[in-house]
Amino acid sequence: MINILLIAVGILLGILFEKFRRKYYSLCRLVFRSSHFEKNLKVSLEKEEVENILPAGLIRERIPKHVAVIMDGNRRWAKEKGLTTMEGHIAGAQRVLELIPLCCSYGIKVLTLFAFSTENWNRSEVEISFMIKLGEKMIMEKLEEVMRQDVRISVIGDMTKLPRSLQRLITKAIDSTKNNSRLHLIVAINYSGRCDIIQACQRIYEKVKDGIVKQENIDETLFTDQLETNCTEFPYPDLLIRTSGELRISNFLIWQLAYTELYFEELFWPDFGEKEFVKALLSFQGRSRRFGGSTAG
């Protein structure tokens, strides 16, 4: 009788222990998962804070809203290193991919890149074909990454001369990113500053002819609204950077650059990294922008 009772008590204790064991391990899993989540969240927040910390010397309130870049020197960079022109363009494209997150991190709102001018059609068919294929490849492979960075893409210039395949990819990139707001990336492709001014004049002429605008109401604001850079909240670049040591704007944003601060870098574009970018921003922050007026005092 006692043996039967002991067996019954043992079975009952075993059942209770199993229930306790399951509940214990369930709680352990919950705690470990929670700790893992909190750890990941902490790491994520710390990463966010690190990304928002400006390099030494930069002042957030004086960061330019709109930075434009003439990315010059891919071919000369390649020649100096004994590489092909195509390898130079690949290295230049990589610099673009590195510059975008820097702009996001620093609080720059608009980045305009001079990727292909109307004069670039004078280059060899082989080089032009490669540049077009490289552009297509970048859109296909990097669009999702751009989406994650909350970057909006716009393209200015005459796209009608571009291959249909590239036009379709550009349209997809524009449509896919139109609601993004952290950084507005404007890419100038087959762009000419003179042509931009001409097409703005043509638009205004049509508006006057159709009675939409009176001649006496034509002013700078109306003209600016007809330019291709009207796609952004900040149409006038605060800072223009040109690499490779050339000291000219090469038919780029002629109207828009009227009061832009200019920064010329000796290095070729593929060598223009974060250090050089910060140097350009520091130069900008050290200047007094008068917009045609005189200094205070």
Active site residues: 72
Distance of CA 276 to the CA centre of its chain: 17
Q: Return the closest-CA partner of residue 207 out of 192, 197, 195, 222.
A: 222
- In contact, 237 and 112? CB cutoff 8 Å: yes
Which of 56, 62, 39, 23 lies closest to 275 in space, CA to CA? 56
Sign of the Cα torsion 147, 149, 150, 151 reads negative
Spatial distance between the Cα atoms of 144 and 267, rounded to a whole number of angstroms: 31
Q: Distance (Å, rounded) from C-alpha 159 to C-alpha 228?
A: 12
Q: Measured in whole angstroms, how far is the alpha carbon of residue 142 from the centre of its chain?
A: 11
d(CA 291, CA 269): 29
DSSP state of 221: H
Other beta carbons within 10 Å of 104: 19
